[in-house]
Amino acid sequence: MPKKTSSAAVPKPAPPVPRTPEEAAPKKAAAKPAQQVTAVEMGARQREISVSEFFTKNRHLLGFDSPRKSLLTCVKEAVDNALDASEEAGILPDVAVRLEVVPTNGTVPPASQATRFRVTVTDNGPGIVRQQIPRIFAKLLYGSKFHRMRMSRGQQGIGISAAGMYGQLTTGKPVKIISRTGPRAAAHFFEVQIDTKKNEPLVHENKQIEWDRPQGTQVALEVEGKYQKGRASVDEWLEQTSIANPHVKLTYHTPEGEAKEYPRTYHELPPSPREIKPHPYGIEFGMFLKMLQDTKSHWVSGFLASDFCRVSPQLADEICKTAKVSPHLKPRDLKGHAAETLYQTIQNTKIMAPPTNCISPIGEKAILSGLYKQIKGEFYTAVSRPPAVYRGNPFLIEAGLAYGNRPEDQQKPQQPAMPKAEGEHEEEDSELARVIRYANRVPLLFQQSACSTFKAVLNTTWRNYGVSQSRGALPGGPMVIFVHMASVWVPFTSESKEAIADYDEIQKEITLALRECGRRLGLFLRRRERAASEFRRRNIFELYIEEVVDACDRLKGGKLPKAKLKAQLQKIATSRTGGLKTDEALGKTGGGPEGLPHSIIVTAEGVEGEIALADQVERDADPAGVPVEPDLLGDEQPIETPSKKRAAGPQAAKGRIAKSAKGKAAQMPLFSKPAKREKTTRRRA
Amino acid sequence: MATKLKKTTAVEKKLIGLADIVITAADRSKDPTFSIPIRALSNVSFNERKGLIEMGNKKQARSFFNVGMAKKFMQTVLVADALSELQRADLTTSLREIYYRTKHTIKDSHENTFDTQDESDPVIEDLEVSLAALREELHVRAENSGSIVGPVIFGDDGDRVDCARLGKGGYSVPSIVEPEYLEIRRCTADFLLLVEKGTQWNRLSEDKFWRRYNCVLLTGNGQPPRGVRRLARRLHEEYKLPVYVLVDNDPWGYYIYSVVKQGSINLAFESQRMAIPKAKFMGLSSADPERYELPRNVGIKLNEKDIARAKELMNYQWFQKPAWQAEIKRMLTSGLKYELDALANKDFQYLTKKYLPRKLKEKDWLD
């Protein structure tokens, strides 16, 4: 067992086992002779450290370093808990986050200067039984998630109690909780604090109250913090949460008194992830020893077969035989060399990969609707990879991409028509893509460059897909890249859960997903470029005719019938571009999201793709995402002049009922396929 | 190609002809198209008999209703308009002023007719070639960037300019030196020395080299501009002055000499009027360092560009004479180039007192 040496050691997220300083004496030999301290004196000073004390001193390990980040961490922990609880109980989450400035010395400072905030998070989840409330909110490392292999946002049971402890440390105020388990049950109000020495809750207040909500939990924390918008802010975190969780309705009251609403666009709970047993490849030797001690099995073979996944009784016997360990040995008696041999044997035995049904992906449609809802763009796509395995842990990568500016936004900057001087150019997009990263649906906002996802984005050759990219940099252009890793155990580089570690298997999966997104983007960009060049062609002539006519007129001494020449030239231009028009129409028949599965294209005329699906309540038993081909209306109009554009966005999508109906039909590939074939042949004919 | 003041009307007619092309084509519902001779190595040939680079007959079509050419076409019409304005007002102007005159933002757009002067300059050259009009006839002048000193007397705007009485600064050669602008009243020199570098020209002028050897000293500060070349040609033609060229010993020096002698590729159409096929290459030759005992350490190592350019020169038809092939090969073998200034290594006045006198005495030059 590891020695408890100093508080500076990074703690393993395991419950601390109280240890007596029995091994102190031999260590003493190294003490310097100059200091006349005896082993006994030193022994007297050596004592146990509680987790809470440890984290009080090392709160940065849990994400409570700067006041700004601490505020975010408090919101994050409370929201994570709310979502995990609601989803596990099968309730579509409805979460309200309220940030309020706490008056200091009787005055309320403006939000940007305030140092104290009250964070209130309310959900419609299952509620918490009365007896558990104090321990969940005021005891570190207490919870349901650590002891099982199941995909969830929280993993350790530190988060919310650490947030409470942070509040207690900085403001001295207790955590206030209201919880109600159902309309018939009473709502309970608690005020709890944590006894940092013992890591035990102290209940200050406990009473039944009237609550206007039929069910749910509300947590209120008063903490020191700093509110600032922009990168890595509470606002950004909530926005990104809403992108990856379109099934959540999120209401956010900013400290400035503004109310932001992130509506639910996907009316289906993600399939509940199943719990699995650990896979033998993913277990380290120390953990293996611990499992040997804790198992309920009486035989080693039974232990192997029942405590691990993918180990059948036959395989267990076989492993014991190869390791020359009696299958009937008591697991507790297996120690030292024999245990190590057994462990090595397991690692060298071929064992089937772990089951992957324990992971619940967000799903391509949900990602699409999340991106579409939050990010203004012209093109959206999403890819869910099939599950894969790293170090015995199943995981799954999803990627999404939103590109471009909405047509209505493109118009704006063109308004001030200022003549350009030499050396001035059309403002080029020096903007770089933004990467938004998620682990089990939770946005990761810090340490981007250390993250495996970020590295995968850099290592993808975006130039192949028509996007600019400097060497070793992010691709350029108005683009948001979405990467999500779902796993029973996400390998973070540190305890504060900020970056995903760089395993080859993970990197490979991310790259594959990004490449698929890139391919679709490239296809879209090429089509758009083709359409734009046709448009430009006609435009050029119209622009220059005027110039040429004026110059000719001056050359002829101002005696030219200008109108006539202009009309003649325009006639030639139209007759010449008449051929182009047909080109354009041809290009347009292939211009929709055909061949672009799981993508949305927003044009001046409206929205093409799967967005209509996302706006409907649908129970679609197709989480793996069989490529769906939304059908295109044959009579799509070619690009019109921008002045004729209709408002894009959800309204436009709603206006296309016919289309959404078609999209819905396309979702049932079995039935729609023959029909579709007919249609295509007809179109060809 | 005689150039008379009266011809300006002819030039204006030619410019108006461009407008007529547009009008006629529009009448017939055709795509208006100008045909412009190509100014590139592919469209020049070396006439050995005349010793000139001549332009071929290859032409390119510039059509309005072609996406790639529409803007160029529009620019061509605009420049033609500006040039005809000059003709009517009887003014001369610079390339840069033409650029400013024709630049504006096209109505209802963010597009400028021209973004930089790099776009308008070639259009002017295109017009020179396609209208067979000289730049001077178009009333476009270049900067004055040449100097002349020696026993020659000009009449410039009615002023008498005696180049033997202008101190060491000499007379600044205007960019247009056609007889109607610049009259050569008298010239008593025996030969003309065209020096690449202004610094060396200054050395010779300060040392009054022209007085002792009765010659005209001319420089173009690098690649000689049209005015300098045309003036050298006129002195050569009208006063039978032999022309000698003094340049650095590097591929660029060789090319300057060849431009003076045979004309340039870009302006091949002007060769007939500018080239001096009888010009001689005085130096610096790759044989000189040995002959004049220049130490190796005043040489400069040829860089990759130099070597590539030298090899290119060896392939030009007008460098095919054995003496020239040997000259260039000698430079490549030594791997060094020498500047005229390097002669100062021996003595500040080495060029005036030793090098040129010996060259002239030994008649040591290349043709």
Q: Where does a domain end: B84, B107, B141?
A: B141
Question: Are residues A608 and A259 in contact, defined by beta-carbon separation less than 8 angstroms?
Answer: no
Whichever domain contains B267, its CATH number is 3.40.1360.10
- Assess whether pLDDT exceeds 90 at residue A477: no
- To which residue do tokens 């055909």 refer? A594
B127 and B169 in a single domain? The answer is no
Between the ranges A11-15, A110-114, A169-173, A218-222, where is the mean pLDDT highest?
A: A218-222
d(CA B88, CA B104): 22
Could you give the CA distance from residue B349 to residue B352 in angstroms, rounded to a whole number? 5
| Cα–Cα dist A487/A494, whole Å | 16
pLDDT averaged over chain B? 88
Residue count of chain A: 685
Dist CA B309 CA B168 (whole Å): 35
Cα distance between residue A333 and residue A137, in whole Å:
39
A-B C-beta contacts closer than 8 Å: 95
Q: How confident is the model at residue A610 (pLDDT cuts 50, 70, 90)?
A: low
A616 vs A223, residue with greater confidence: A223
pLDDT of residue A627 exceeding 70: no
Q: How many CB atoms lie within 10 A of CB B21?
A: 17
Residue B163: per-residue pLDDT: 92
- For chain B, where are the E strands, in sequence order? 33-37, 44-47, 52-55, 59-63, 93-94, 140-141, 147-149, 152-156, 159-162, 171-172, 182-187, 191-195, 215-219, 243-246, 280-283, 300-301, 336-337
pLDDT range class, residue A157, cuts 50, 70, 90: low
- Cα A539–chain centre separation: 43
CB contact under 8 A, B81 and A573: no
Determine, yes or no, domain membership for B211.
Answer: yes
A384 DSSP 8-state letter: E
Active site residues of B: 100
Mean pLDDT, range A226-236, rounded to an integer? 89
- Inside any domain, residue B56: no
- In which order are the strands placed within the sheet that holds B182-187? B159-162, B152-156, B182-187
Residues A288-310 pLDDT 10s: 888 888 888 888 888 888 888 88
Q: Could you tell me which residues are beta bridge partners of residue A220? A: A120, A176
Tell which of B141, B167, B187 closes a domain: B141
* Residue B80: inside a domain: yes
Q: How many domains does chain B have?
A: 2
Burial of A140 per CB tally in 10 Å (0-12, 13-18, 19+) = buried
Six-digit token pair at B275?
A: 């080239």
User: Measured between alpha carbons, how far is A395 from A438 in angstroms, rounded to an integer?
Assistant: 13
pLDDT tens sequence across A522-580:
888 887 777 777 666 667 788 888 889 999 998 888 888 888 888 888 888 877 765 44
B346/B358 Cα distance (integer angstroms): 15
Based on the domain organization, do B235 and B334 belong to the same domain? yes
For residue A255, the 8-state DSSP code is T
Q: Are strands B191-195 and B215-219 parallel, antiparallel or unpaired?
A: parallel
SS3 B327: helix
**A555 chain-B contacts, CB cut-off 8 A:** 15-16, 18-19, 77, 80-81, 84
Do B16 and B94 lie in a common domain?
yes
Instruction: Compute φ and ψ for A119, nearest 5 degrees.
Output: -105, 120
Q: What is the pLDDT of residue A596?
A: 61
Question: In sequence order, what E strands does B1-121 have?
Answer: 33-37, 44-47, 52-55, 59-63, 93-94
Q: What is the pLDDT of residue B74?
A: 92
Chain B nearest-CA distance from A642, in A, is 14
Say how many C-beta atoms besides its own lie within 10 A of residue A148's C-beta: 13
B19–chain A Cβ distance below 8 A for any pair: yes
Task: Find the domain containing B116 and state its range.
Answer: 5-31+66-141
pLDDT at residue A426, rounded to an integer: 58
B128 within domain boundaries: yes
For A556-668, where are the alpha helices, taking DSSP H only?
Answer: 562-589, 611-614, 650-654, 657-666
The per-residue pLDDT for range A252-289, each reduced to its tens digit, is 999 988 899 998 888 888 887 777 888 888 777 887 88
- What does the pLDDT average to over A629-653? 37
B164 with B114, same domain? no
Asked if residue B60 belongs to a domain, the reply is no
Q: Is B23 on the interface with A (CB under 8 A)?
A: yes
What is the C-alpha separation between A595 and A629, in angstroms, rounded? 7
DSSP A14: S
Q: Which residues of A touch B (CB under 8 A)?
A: 414, 417-420, 422-423, 426, 536-537, 540-541, 543-544, 546-548, 551-552, 554-556, 560, 565, 568-569, 571-573, 575-576
Please count the residues of chain B.
367
**B237, B13 contact by CB (below 8 A):** no
Domain termination residue (choose one: B124, B141, B158) = B141
- B221 in a domain, yes or no? yes
Whether B203 and B336 map to the same domain: the answer is yes
The H or E element containing residue B211 is: helix B209-213
What CA–CA distances, in Å, run from A499 to A80, A99, A383, A489? 17, 27, 21, 13
Domains of chain A: 64-262 (3.30.565.10), 280-348 (1.10.8.50), 357-413+429-604+632-643 (3.30.230.10)
Cβ-contact A398, A484 below 8 angstroms: yes
**pLDDT value of position A483:** 94
Read off the pLDDT of residues A332-385 as tens digits, 9 standing for 90 and up.
888 788 888 888 888 888 888 887 777 888 888 888 888 888 888 888 888 999
Give the pLDDT band (50/70/90) at residue A34. Answer: low
Measured in whole angstroms, the distance separating CA A37 from the mean position of its chain's CA atoms is: 54
Provide the pLDDT for residue A33. 56
Does residue A248 contact residue A242 with C-beta atoms inside 8 Å?
yes
Same domain, B234 and B85: no
B179 lies in the same domain as B289: yes
For position B356, what pLDDT does the model report? Answer: 92
**DSSP code for A223:** E
User: What secondary structure does DSSP assign to A96-163, as a single string?
Assistant: EEEEEEPPBTTB---TTT--EEEEEEEE-S----GGGHHHHHHSTT-SSSTTSB---S--SS-HHHHH
Secondary structure (H, E, C), B239-283: CCCCEEEECCECHHHHHHHHHHHHCCCCCHHHHHHHCCCCCEEEE
On whether the CB atoms of residues B275 and B53 are closer than 8 A, the answer is yes
- CA dist A339 → A304, A318, A349 (Å): 12, 16, 15
Asked whether residue B160 falls in the same domain as residue B113, the answer is: no
Is B77 close to A548, i.e. CB distance below 8 A? yes
Chain B, residues 245-264, CB within 8 A of chain A, namely: none
Residue with tokens 């809802």: A373
Least confident of A12-26, A121-135, B23-37: A12-26
Among A373, A390, A377, residue whose Cα is nearest residue A433 = A377
pLDDT value for A631: 36
- Token pair for B52: 């000139």
CATH (domain of B83): 1.10.10.10
Taking the CB of residue A356, how many other CB atoms lie within 10 A of it?
15
How confident is the model at residue B157, as a pLDDT? 87
Arithmetic mean of pLDDT over chain A: 76
Q: Residues 106 to 145 of B: which have CB under 8 A from any A CB?
A: 106-113, 115-116
pLDDT band at A602 (very low <50, low <70, confident <90, very high): low
Tell me which residue of A174, A157, A66, A156 sits closest to A118, measured CA to CA: A174
Minimal CA separation from A403 to chain B, in Å: 25
Query: Do both B104 and B167 map to the same domain?
Result: no
User: Is the per-residue pLDDT at A611 higher than 50?
Assistant: no
pLDDT exceeds 90 at position A123: yes
Asked if the Cβ–Cβ distance from B77 to A547 is below 8 Å, we say yes
- Please state the φ and ψ torsions of residue A363, each to the nearest 5 degrees: 95, 145
Chain-chain contact of B16 with A555 (C-beta, under 8 angstroms): yes
DSSP state of B105: B
A565/B116 touch (CB, cutoff 8 Å), yes or no: no
pLDDT higher for B294 or A155? B294
**Which tokens belong to A6?**
């100093």
Whether B315 maps to a domain, the answer reads yes
Residue A481 has pLDDT above 90, yes or no: yes
For residues B363 and A640, the model is more confident at B363
ipTM: 0.75
Q: Give A174 or A644, the one with higher predicted confidence.
A: A174
For B314: left if phi > 0, alpha if psi spans -120 to 50, otherwise beta; the answer is: alpha
The answer on B204 and B299 residing in a single domain is: yes
User: Has residue B49 been placed in a domain?
Assistant: no
Residues B221 and B338 in one domain: yes
Asked whether the beta carbons of B115 and B75 are under 8 A apart, the reply is no
Band the pLDDT of A311: cuts 50, 70, 90: confident
- Whole-angstrom Cα distance, residue A148 to residue A163? 23
Taking 70 as the pLDDT cut, the residues of chain B under it are: 1-9
CB neighbourhood size of B293 (10 A): 8
Determine whether A91 is exposed, middle or buried from the number of CB atoms within 10 Å of its CB (0-12, 13-18, 19+).
middle
Q: Please state, for a pLDDT cut of 70, what percent of chain A lies above it.
A: 73
Read off φ and ψ for residue A159, nearest 5 degrees. Answer: -40, -70
B109 and B212 both lie in a single domain: no
pLDDT at B257: 93
CB within 8 Å: B64 and A419: no
DSSP state of A469: B
pLDDT single digits (tens) A144-153: 666 666 777 8
Cβ contacts of B113 on chain A, cutoff 8 Å: 547
Residue A233 has pLDDT above 80, yes or no: yes
How confident is the model over A157-179, as a mean pLDDT? 87
For A395, the enclosing helix (H) or strand (E) is strand A393-403
| Mean pLDDT confidence for A588-593 | 40
